[in-house]
Structure 1
């Protein structure tokens, strides 16, 4: 299968999954937490997440940019693991563009507030299992 088709399959499956688990590396090892996946954003190898600017994950990314994301589509069943590098992006216009109404439950003041940070995870390797096939994309 052509790499662009493999990527399209991953993107289509990923868009259906509301929450993924994000792992970062901290002082005491790997930290894992659920993160809202914005399926409205067309996946191009970058995942985008909102976080509070004073959160542990933001501090950890400043020290070690390695990130792993895991997605589980229980209706599929499909599973996706993404290994990549994370960075904090300070771009108010991009935050406004990626913002969706559901984020208001975590961020009272909207995307323009300084407490709202944007994390970009750029994929280095993707592995899939399930109905979308077992494969590795690098």
Structure 2
């Protein structure tokens, strides 16, 4: 897969992780990913080289882990966040120095995101921000 530039991966609706994780470390040209459902926790990617990442229906623990790994080169990011009924740790500062566009969506409307999304996105290069009404 040395020429792969974009990956769109969705791993069903079942919370049980597969025994074998998907490894794409040899995808040296990979710049853009769309990961849905349980894909983010079951895939190994060259995270630092990504410039565009979409995470659909992910929990806070997942997006925090992945944003830390992609922060240096990420230009475009879209997160559809699943909120849970309990608080998950302290708020974090998430520095994305080159990020130009950020989209935040509520992956479920079961819990009030205004009480859950306490993380601070530090995005000095941001040009475009799209957020769901439920975040306001």
Coarse TM-score class (shorter-chain normalised): under 0.3
Whose helix fraction is larger, Structure 1's or Structure 2's?
A: 1
The TM-score, its normalising length taken from structure 1, stands at 0.26
Whose strand fraction is larger, Structure 1's or Structure 2's?
A: 1
The TM-score, its normalising length taken from structure 2, stands at 0.26
